[in-house]
Structure 1
Amino acid sequence: MTPEQLEKLIRNVPGFPAPPVVFKDITTVLTTPGALADTMDLLEERLEGIAFDAVASIESRGFVFGAVLCARRRLPLVLVRKPGKLPAEKIGEDYELEYGSGRVEMHRGSVPAGGRVLIVDDLVATGGSAAAAGRLVERDGGRVAGAAFVINLEFLGGRRRLEDLGWPVRWIVEVHGEE
């Protein structure tokens, strides 16, 4: 599969969760036979040169890609979740996003001490949730090795925001405007 073929599999849903957002629905990638494996191959190609020994995935679509990456590489997976979803002691960070604000949490002590952690999600828009996940990783004793996404909504500036933090950022599909 090429990045262009992958882009054609991603469904656009105008007005979700609220206008003027055009939601990039990756469930079509998950329901197409072989597309998830091909997507992960494309993502792994882009990770060349980034050393990491754990992955922090952001709820919920990021869990899919982060879990597959961890299974392939036999690495620990750190779950970054919405508030109220984790049962043990947790730490949290607030952030701004394209259509409002949010908060993410993770279990305290889930990052390997001094670990190099790759942040993984399905897409980067403003970079708010990924930056918040990175702050959580650092507060828990790890270092952010970089970030990887299936989709980069370039017109919203999240990639640049994360690169300004000193992170290498990788993606497969780049979107330049509301499509």
Structure 2
Amino acid sequence: MNDAQFKNLVRSWKDFPTKGISFKDINPLLSTPDSLNYLDEKLYKMCTNIQMNKIAAIESRGFIIGSLLAKSLNKGLILIRKEGKLPGPTIKQSYNIEYGTRNMEIQNDAILDGEKILIVDDLLATGGTAIASASLVEKLGGAVVGFVFIICLNYLEGMNKLRNHGYNVNCIMEYY
């Protein structure tokens, strides 16, 4: 498999989940051993030189990437979830979406002061979820060493937003 073949596996669904959205479906990337192994190799090569203590994965498709990376890099995995999905004491952060506000949470003992954290998710659009995730990590005393995404939708300016906040951003594939 090569990069072009891999990118061609991504499907676009018009007007999903709402009208005006073109949803990038990564499910075909996960559906065969060849494509899943290719994804794992791309992620590993992209992240092997990043100094980190743990990986923070954003719900829900970020959990897939985070799990692959945590295993490949021998790092711990932290889950960043929608409000009310984590047991025990948590901290939360609000963020805006197209049609309102949502909250994300992380367990308040997930990160030790000074730990270096790589944040991962499947897709970067406007950057709102990513910025909220970084805020959670930093509230717990962690240092965000960067972000990794399978897909970056550059026309929605999320990458620029993250870089303007001083974060490193890596994407396997980009759409303009």
**Interval containing the TM-score (normalised by the shorter chain):** over 0.9
Partner of 2:23: 23
How much is the aligned-residue C-alpha RMSD, in angstroms? Answer: 1.4
Partner of 1:74: 74
Structure possessing the higher relative contact order (Cα contacts under 8 Å, 6 or more residues apart): 1
Structure 2 counterparts to residues 132-151 of structure 1, below 5 A: 132-151=132-151
Alignment TM-score, normalising by the size of structure 1 = 0.93
The code of the aligned residue for 1:63 comes to F
Partner of 1:120: 120
How far apart are 1:100 and its partner, in Å? 4.3
Aligned-partner SS, 2:84? coil
Partner of 2:162: 162
Q: In structure 2, how many angstroms separate the alpha carbons of the residues matched to 1:87 and 1:4?
A: 41
Does the CA-based 8 Å contact 2:122-2:149 persist in structure 1?
yes
Partner of 2:101: 101
Q: In structure 2, how many angstroms separate the alpha carbons of the residues matched to 1:162 and 1:51?
A: 19
The code of the aligned residue for 1:89 comes to P
**What percent identity do the matched residue pairs reach?**
39
Q: In structure 2, how many angstroms separate the alpha carbons of the residues matched to 1:99 and 1:120?
A: 24
Q: In structure 2, how many angstroms separate the alpha carbons of the residues matched to 1:4 and 1:91?
A: 41
How far apart are 1:32 and its partner, in Å? 2.1
Does the CA-based 8 Å contact 2:44-2:72 persist in structure 1?
no
Partner of 1:152: 152
Matched residue count: 176
Tell me, which stretches of 5 or more residues in structure 1 are unaligned?
Answer: none
Alignment TM-score, normalising by the size of structure 2 = 0.94
Q: In structure 2, how many angstroms separate the alpha carbons of the residues matched to 1:172 and 1:106?
A: 26
Q: In structure 1, how many angstroms separate the alpha carbons of the residues matched to 2:56 and 2:142?
A: 11
